[in-house]
Chain A
Amino acid sequence: MAKKEDFRQVDDYVWELPRDHDARMEVPARIYGNRRVFDMAFGDRSIAQLINVAMLPGIVKYAMAMPDMHQGYGFPIGGVAAFDYAQGIISPGGVGYDINCGVRMLASPLAEEDAVSYFDELATALHRACPSGVGGKGAVQLSWDDLEEVLETGSGWAKRQGYATADDVARTEGGGCLPQAQAAAVPDRAKERGRPQMGSLGSGNHFLEIDIVDAVYDDAAAEAFGLWEGQVVVQIHCGSRGLGHEVCSQSLSQLQDAPRRYGIEIPDRELVAAPVESEEGQRYLAAMAAAANWAFANRQVLAHFVRRAFEEVLAGRVSDWELQQVYDVTHNVAKVETHTVEGRERKLMVHRKGATRAFPAGHPELTAVYRETGQPVLVPGSMGTASYVMAGNPESMALTFGSSCHGAGRTMSRRAATRKVRGEKLREELKAQGVTVRAQSMRGLAEEAPLAYKDVSLVVDSVEGAGIARKVARMHPVAVIKG
């Protein structure tokens, strides 16, 4: 068990556990955050999980935890690890069950004062238009042929079907498609689960939210992102639903024997892995990428129905209600990326588990729109509290393989939260604060209570202090549709 004194303070925002802490560690482990974030990391088992990641073969530089780190299963949430493509591994536990869980932001042309009287109606229309709940069917029933196309082309399918504009696709991480995807690598049952669920929010911590931009910190970046103070915006948080869960579950079970066959030492069976270039590694990469594409298409279809709900409520009442996409980021994924390590370009398999890509200005993978500013990094807060939009900084490439936090990060278990808060009371309190809530279950609402999370401001200030990304704008919610 690592203690605080085992860590070396590299600077005000970087804490490093040396490799010699445990003979099995291949690289040091690093926590990014100020002193308070560092202290909070000792509140659960996330550091032990980070140390496990540092033991995986082929890991490059460090096992890293972002400031929103907390205990997960396998990787800690907020975990980032890059593996050499030729010598390293790929691990389903480094991505998780909700493959390409992510966030999409849409910006409206409306100021709060022009829309405030419609927020209740909008919440009802959004709740109706975007199905939520366990097993919930989606707004679109895919044919088997369409499903294959979704899996291999993601947002490309959505555009061909009229659910996306070219601008939406450009403003989606990687154009909303992981090119390694192969529909044939996706198990039949995953396809059965995914076919009826396209265009659904799911449940758990997934949500759809109407927010107001209440602070702008970087005028130039905010202008490029299309954001301004007092503006109404929408956030969509969801992932790959049953299809992604099935891909991950089946991959983990099938890979249980891989460590023995490849002579890989694994500290936790959830971290089971195969060499990236092995047959098993490539099969998982192809299936995971296909599930990620399904999730990009899912958020795109939801965005389409959000736009339709806005039209339904606002047409004839305001002059313009067109929602423009700001960006769509994934925070559970493994991606093939090229990074400079010790002066040399290396092809890496970058795992982000509860972490967002944060590429800086000038990065060739960014859409031209954000080439001057760096990509938008979307950081939703806990329900009822602030969210942030940040922009990737050049330092992120050397510090964290171009990665940042993905949210506030939990500090309290769901059980503890439900012991402290009742869903009905929380809904009333939020109402009194001006936040309308539509929720599937009151228990689910209580589990996501703000007191169960870190203060998101603490997290984004740490990200900014470390130099990973800079704050662009802050939002507060006015309507929440909880999955």
Chain B
Amino acid sequence: MGCWQEIDHTADLALQVWGEDLPDLFATAAQGMFALVARPDLQAEPLKRCVALEALDVETLLVDWLNELLYLYEVTMAVLDEVDFEALSATRLHATVRGRPAATQRAQIKAATFHNLEVVTSEAGVRTEIVFDI
């Protein structure tokens, strides 16, 4: 089970994210990001979307993944933080995301950035640090 922690950044927002494996890291990063963005209305009707992405490498895939979710948030205003991966490799993902409309909005994140981004795999699992532009 992955976890995330917000870390200080002068102007923007940043998260440290840990996962047992790559799918766990990607799912936890999405949960952490949405926790910064909004809280869902638990009484509202749920909705789902499919996401399919290909990228040059795992860091680009992670950034594209989070930016895709931010785009979906902009058009659905839903906190799509429940993730099922049908496929996920270092360069390709196919996922179904589910969630409910936002009840209260918090930060507006413009984008996930590549700033000093590195996905590090070790015996303990996978970790990364992501800076978001606000």
- Which residues of A pack against B, CB within 8 Å? 43-44, 46, 70-74, 77, 93, 96-98, 133-135, 189, 193, 202-205, 242, 245-246, 248-249, 252-253, 256-257, 268-270, 272, 410-416, 440-441, 443-444, 447
Q: A415 and B111: CB pair below 8 A?
A: no
A72-B12 CB under 8 A given contacts A415-B6, A441-B105: yes
Would you list the 8 A-B pairs with minimal beta carbon distance, nearest first?
A73-B115, A269-B114, A203-B108, A135-B74, A71-B10, A270-B115, A73-B113, A270-B114
Q: A413 and B8: CB pair below 8 A?
A: yes
- A248→B74 CA distance, assembly (Å): 16
Chain B, 90-128, CB within 8 A of any chain A CB: 104-108, 110-111, 113-117
Residues of A within 8 A of B77 (CB): 134-135
Q: A246 and B63: CB pair below 8 A?
A: no
From the candidates B104, B114, B131, B134, name the one contacting A252 in the complex (CB within 8 A). B114
- A70→B9 CA distance, assembly (Å): 10
- A202→B107 CA distance, assembly (Å): 12
Most-contacted residue by chain A among B67, B133, B134 (CB, 10 A): B133
Indicate whether B35 reaches chain A with its CB closer than 8 angstroms: no
Q: A73 and B131: CB pair below 8 A?
A: yes
Q: A269 and B117: CB pair below 8 A?
A: yes
Q: A253 and B110: CB pair below 8 A?
A: no
Q: A253 and B105: CB pair below 8 A?
A: no
Give the nearest-CB partner of B134 in chain A. Answer: A204
A73-B12 CB under 8 A given contacts A204-B134, A270-B113: yes
Q: B8 and A97: CB pair below 8 A?
A: no
Q: How far is the CB of A77 from chain B (nearest CB, A)?
A: 6
Q: How far is the CB of B110 from chain A (nearest CB, A)?
A: 4
From the candidates A44, A74, A133, name the one contacting B113 in the complex (CB within 8 A). A74
Q: A133 and B105: CB pair below 8 A?
A: yes
- A43→B11 CA distance, assembly (Å): 12
- A204→B12 CA distance, assembly (Å): 10
Query: Interface stretch among B23-31, B40-48, B53-61?
Result: B53-61
Q: A135 and B12: CB pair below 8 A?
A: no
**A-B residue pairs in contact (CB < 8 Å), sample of 6:** A97-B111, A134-B108, A204-B107, A248-B111, A268-B115, A270-B113
Q: A245 and B111: CB pair below 8 A?
A: yes
- A8→B131 CA distance, assembly (Å): 31
Residues of A within 8 A of B59 (CB): 269
- A253→B59 CA distance, assembly (Å): 10
**Per DSSP, are chain A's interface residues mostly helix, strand or loop, or mixed?**
mixed
A189-B11 CB under 8 A given contacts A73-B113, A415-B6, A441-B105: no
Most-contacted residue by chain A among B6, B13, B56, B111 (CB, 10 A): B111
Residues of A within 8 A of B64 (CB): 249, 253
Indicate whether B87 reaches chain A with its CB closer than 8 angstroms: no
Q: B133 and A96: CB pair below 8 A?
A: yes
Q: B12 and A416: CB pair below 8 A?
A: no
Residues of B within 8 A of A77 (CB): 11
Q: B108 and A256: CB pair below 8 A?
A: no
Residues of A within 8 A of B71 (CB): 189, 193, 242, 246
- A248→B112 CA distance, assembly (Å): 11
A70-B11 CB under 8 A given contacts A253-B63, A256-B60, A440-B105: yes
- The 8 A CB mask of B1-21 against A (1 = contact, 0 = none) is 000001011111100000000
From the candidates A43, A253, A414, name the one contacting B134 in the complex (CB within 8 A). A414
A412-B10 CB under 8 A given contacts A204-B134, A270-B113: yes
Give the nearest-CB partner of B37 in chain A. Answer: A134
- A458→B80 CA distance, assembly (Å): 43
Q: A204 and B60: CB pair below 8 A?
A: no
- A178→B56 CA distance, assembly (Å): 31
Give the nearest-CB partner of A244 in chain B. Answer: B110
- A410→B8 CA distance, assembly (Å): 13
Most-contacted residue by chain B among A193, A411, A413, A447 (CB, 10 A): A413
A443-B106 CB under 8 A given contacts A71-B11, A252-B63, A413-B10: yes
From the candidates A193, A410, A444, name the one contacting B74 in the complex (CB within 8 A). A193
Q: B10 and A249: CB pair below 8 A?
A: no
Residues of B within 8 A of A44 (CB): 10
- A253→B75 CA distance, assembly (Å): 21
Residues of B within 8 A of A71 (CB): 9-11
A410-B10 CB under 8 A given contacts A204-B134, A252-B114, A270-B114: yes
Q: A410 and B6: CB pair below 8 A?
A: no
- A209→B127 CA distance, assembly (Å): 42
Q: How far is the CB of B64 from chain A (nearest CB, A)?
A: 6
Give the nearest-CB partner of A133 in chain B. Answer: B105
- A134→B73 CA distance, assembly (Å): 9
Q: B134 and A74: CB pair below 8 A?
A: no
Q: A413 and B9: CB pair below 8 A?
A: yes
Residues of A within 8 A of B74 (CB): 134-135, 193, 242
Residues of A within 8 A of B114 (CB): 74, 93, 252, 256, 268-270, 272
Q: A204 and B108: CB pair below 8 A?
A: yes
From the candidates A248, A257, A410, name the one contacting B11 in the complex (CB within 8 A). A410
